[in-house]
Amino acid sequence: MNVWSKLLTALRGGANEVGEAVVDSQALRILDQEIRDADVELRKSKEALAEIMARHKLATDKVTRSTASIAEYEQYALKALEAGNETLAKEVAEKIANLEIEQASEREQAEGFAASVAQLRKAVTQAEGNIKRLKQQVDTVKATESVQKAQMAVAQRYGGSQAKLQTAVESLERIKQKQAERAAKMEASAELAATSAPDDSLEAKLRAAGIKADGASADSVLARLKDKSRA
């Protein structure tokens, strides 16, 4: 094989791959359209079946009426024979013969319609089953396709933003650490304030009992000044 042949083979292979890719990308749409077409054909088949069933019924009714007519004319022929009128009996017999010929044709037609009805019934049943299975498969494929697309979207977002997520997680940890440090400082400041604060309630109790004198007041200052003036 020369270079040109190899090149043409490669081009044909590439074209086939492109064609298959296009078909695969439209696979669900193609299947939906095929199902719709199959539903249309199935409806037409059911209409044809209903028409043939109607014709079969009419042909069967004709056979039934022919049987009744033959039986009726046989009674006429018997009565003619009983009356000794063989000429009339023969004429009735000819009528019966014609009715039997017609009946044979009608019975054959009815049997043909019956065979067609049975065949169409079987075909319609098979078509309904095939369409139902195809619809189920398409529904499954659609559901799987949706799930896989969602999974791919999540994977792509996660893969593309993994670094951003890691940075955000690290920032969150730093914020939590700062909050913990701030809370510890506030707790330590409260403990120090409680330790260094004077016990005002104890001082008040001592002054009320006269054990500890109150601080400077106007009366004590005036008394002190009077003592100085007498000296």
> Domain residue spans in the chain?
3-171
Hey, which CATH number is domain 3-171, 1.10.1740.10, 3.30.365.10, 2.60.40.3080, 1.10.287.1700? 1.10.287.1700
Distance from C-alpha of 65 to C-alpha of 103, rounded to nearest angstrom: 9
Report the amino acid identity of residue 131. Answer: I
- Is 58 in contact with 113 (CB distance < 8 Å)? no
Closest CA to 103 of 52, 68, 136: 68
* pLDDT tens track, the chain, 231 positions: 455 565 556 556 555 555 565 666 677 788 888 888 888 988 998 999 999 999 999 999 999 999 999 999 999 999 999 999 999 989 999 999 999 999 999 999 999 999 999 999 999 999 889 888 888 888 888 888 788 888 887 777 665 556 666 677 777 788 888 888 888 888 887 777 666 655 556 666 666 666 655 555 566 666 777 777 776
Which residues are within 8 A (CB) of 56 and not within 5 positions of it... i.e. 6 or more apart?
110, 113, 114, 116, 117
CA end-to-end distance (rounded Å), the chain: 142
> Alpha-carbon Rg of the chain, whole angstroms?
56
Distance from C-alpha of 119 to C-alpha of 117, rounded to nearest angstrom: 5
